[in-house]
């Protein structure tokens, strides 16, 4: 039964016969970590592949985000979203920073830039937006606000590997961007992450911070942590780059098949690709309007499970609803994020997902709609907007 489960994602793996020679080389060298040759090669290849100036590899994305906040010496308050994986806000907490939640915009579920200014106080030092589902935030508008108020911008780009806006990587925006290479992501190194920065001086500081603050054998320049990526993950990542484009082609095919099957189902909304964006098809979220569809999101979630199909309610509950954060003043009044979190379910999406599974998901939703209450038809999926 476990083998037959259709999960929301499945890790993309490089060919084992290509990985084994790299493992043998690592075994022969006995250099397992601490900036080995595969680590150095992966950083170089990754920067070229992504079209960014500098990459610093990490053992995971959460430690990368924690180190990024340390690197820029962020203190006080940071404006962020309640609609993300909890690691976004946990990274602030671990740095002694107070998160200030701002509601999201309804089209792409990103931080609403129109609400940021009202949340800025004398204690605000940075903005931490998330490119939710890999769809870019309102990049120019957020930067304009940051420049006006002298704030730093750190993007949680965990979902945005390979995404471009107007031909340039979204990772080139803000002061720093953070990637996750967790097994669930479109690009994985089993576990892993990275910080993208714009100059060599910043990269050196980041590299010190992820290696205990060590500059050389007798010099420690900062109270760093241990967040280095090892050689096995780096070698694995080098192989993964070879197959990324074909993986995206597969994900695009599945996405387009979902869209075609779901387009006429009233009360089920999905996201179109934003204008001027080269997308990575990282997730396929749908939003169930109970008043129109006649059944709730949780009804859909449970019905899919009966067929051994396991969607995920990304992101539910909101971060602001967890016990560590719900007492914050900014945890109230997040109406759009709250509504979206009760509507969203991400459907299975990975390159080798069988077309028959997509057909089954669509047929399940169509079958559920047959029992729905009669309501006026609303034209959906009219949410293709331009990023300002």
pLDDT tens sequence across 54-71 = 999 999 999 999 999 999
- Quote the pLDDT of residue 4: 85
* pLDDT given at position 306: 97
Using CA atoms, how far apart are residues 257 and 249, in angstroms rounded to an integer?
Answer: 12
pLDDT at residue 11 is higher than 80: yes
CB 253 within 8 A of CB 82: no
Report the side by side order of strands in the sheet with 284-288.
268-270, 284-288, 344-347
Catalytic residue numbers, as ranges: 185
What does the pLDDT read at residue 2? 57
State the pLDDT at residue 113. 98
Q: How far apart are CA 72 and CA 76, in angstroms?
A: 13
Mean pLDDT across the chain = 95
Q: Do domains 6-239 and 244-371 have the same CATH topology?
A: no
Residues 242-281 pLDDT 10s: 999 999 999 999 999 999 999 999 999 999 999 999 999 9
Region 119-126: mean pLDDT is 98
Indicate the pLDDT class of residue 382, thresholds 50, 70 and 90. Answer: very low
Percent pLDDT > 70 in the chain is 95
What sign has the CA pseudo-torsion 300, 303, 309, 312?
Answer: positive
Taking 80 as the threshold, does the pLDDT of residue 170 lie above it?
yes
In the chain, what are the domain boundaries? 6-239, 244-371
Which whole number is the average pLDDT over 185-195? 98
Residue 61, both tokens: 């994305």
pLDDT digits (tens, 9 = 90+) for 350-376: 999 999 999 999 999 999 987 664 444
Residue 205 scores a pLDDT above 80: yes
CB 251, CB 352: distance < 8 Å: no
Please name the residues in contact with 45: beta carbons below 8 A apart, sequence gap of 6 or more.
Answer: 238, 241
Calpha distance 258→270 (Å, rounded): 9
Mean pLDDT of all residues in 295-311: 98
Res 357: pLDDT: 98
pLDDT score of 330: 98
Average pLDDT of span 116-126: 98
CATH number belonging to the domain at 244-371, selected among 3.30.420.40, 3.90.1150.10, 1.10.240.10, 2.60.120.260: 3.90.1150.10
Could you tell me the fold of the domain covering 6-239? 3.40.640
Query: What pLDDT shows up at residue 356?
Result: 98
Cα of first residue to Cα of last residue in the chain, in angstroms, is 47
pLDDT > 70? residue 136? yes
Dihedral in degrees, nearest 10, Cα atoms 119, 125, 126, 127: 0
Q: Residue 172 — pLDDT band, cuts 50, 70, 90?
A: very high
| pLDDT at 386 > cutoff 90 | no
Distance between CA atoms of residues 177 and 169, nearest Å: 11
| Other residues' Cβ atoms within 10 Å of the Cβ of residue 332 | 10
d(CA 316, CA 336): 13
178 alpha carbon, distance to own chain's centre: 9
Burial of residue 170, with CB atoms counted within 10 A of its CB: 0-12 exposed, 13-18 middle, 19 or more buried:
buried
- Reply yes or no on whether the pLDDT at 173 is more than 60: yes
Q: What is the pLDDT of residue 138?
A: 98
Which residue reads 């090669």 in tokens? 41
Instruction: Please choose, from the candidates 159, 204, 166, 201, the residue with its C-alpha nearest in 3D space to the C-alpha of residue 182.
Output: 159
The phi-psi region of residue 195 (left if phi > 0; otherwise alpha if psi is between -120 and 50; otherwise beta) is beta
CA nearest to 169, candidates 181, 180, 183, 155: 155
pLDDT band at 381 (very low <50, low <70, confident <90, very high): very low
């Amino acid at each position: 039964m476990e083998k037959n489960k259709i999960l929301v994602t499945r890790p993309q793996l490089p060919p084992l016969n290509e990985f084994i020679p790299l493992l043998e080389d690592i075994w022969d060298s006995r250099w397992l970590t601490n900036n080995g040759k595969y680590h150095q090669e992966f950083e170089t290849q990754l920067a070229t592949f992504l079209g960014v100036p500098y990459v610093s590899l990490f053992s995971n994305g959460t430690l990368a985000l924690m180190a990024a906040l340390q690197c820029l010496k962020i203190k006080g308050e940071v404006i962020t979203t309640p609609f993300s994986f909890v690691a976004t806000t946990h990274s602030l907490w671990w740095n002694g920073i107070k998160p200030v939640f701002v509601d999201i915009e309804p089209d792409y579920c990103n931080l609403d830039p129109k609400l940021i200014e009202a949340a800025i106080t004398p204690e605000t030092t940075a903005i931490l937006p998330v490119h939710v589902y890999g769809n870019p935030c309102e990049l120019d508008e957020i930067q304009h606000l940051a420049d006006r108020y002298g704030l730093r911008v750190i993007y949680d780009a965990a979902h945005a590997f390979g995404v471009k806006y107007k031909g340039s990587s979204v990772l080139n925006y803000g002061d720093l961007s953070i990637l996750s290479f967790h097994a669930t992501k479109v690009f994985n190194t089993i576990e892993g992450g990275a910080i993208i920065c714009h100059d060599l001086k910043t990269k050196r500081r980041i590299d010190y911070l992820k290696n205990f603050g060590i500059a050389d054998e007798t010099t420690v320049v900062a109270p760093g942590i241990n967040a280095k990526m090892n050689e096995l993950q780096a070698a694995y990542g080098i192989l993964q780059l070879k197959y990324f484009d074909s993986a995206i082609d597969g994900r695009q095919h599945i996405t387009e098949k979902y869209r075609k099957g779901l387009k006429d189902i009233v009360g089920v909304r999905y996201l179109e690709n934003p204008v001027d964006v080269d997308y990575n098809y990282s997730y396929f979220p749908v939003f169930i309007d109970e008043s129109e569809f006649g059944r709730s999101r949780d009804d859909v979630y449970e019905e899919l499970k009966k067929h051994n199909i396991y969607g995920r309610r990304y992101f539910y509950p909101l971060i602001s609803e967890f016990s560590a954060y719900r007492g914050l003043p900014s945890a109230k009044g997040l109406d759009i994020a709250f509504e979206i979190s009760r509507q969203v379910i991400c459907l299975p999406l990975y390159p080798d997902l069988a077309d028959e599974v997509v057909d089954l998901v669509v047929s399940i939703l169509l079958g559920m709609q047959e029992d729905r209450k009669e309501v006026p038809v609303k034209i959906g999926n009219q949410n293709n907007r331009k990023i300002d």
